[in-house]
Amino acid sequence: MNLTEKKKILYKERPTARKIFADSNFFIYHTETTAGAIGFKVPVVEMGELPFGETEQGQLLIRWIQ
């Protein structure tokens, strides 16, 4: 599945992504869709003042799709 297809699925299905790993450099989120699993690797330096929690809407993390 290519990046465009992943984005369409995230906007259509609106799945919740759960934080599965965190260290001093990255937060890793994961979600399941009808087309399979999608992961997000969010650099801590890009998070800035945003209040990222244990769960986030998948479509809000599109910028960091893996």
Backbone φ and ψ for 27, nearest 5 degrees, come out as -115, 130
Average pLDDT over residues 24-42: 93
Residue 2 has which token pair?
């290519």
- 50 — pLDDT class (breaks 50, 70, 90): low
Contact 34, 13 (CB under 8 A): yes
Q: Model confidence at 15, in pLDDT bands (50, 70, 90)? A: very high
Beta bridge mates, 28: 21, 41
| The predicted structure's pLDDT at residue 9 | 95
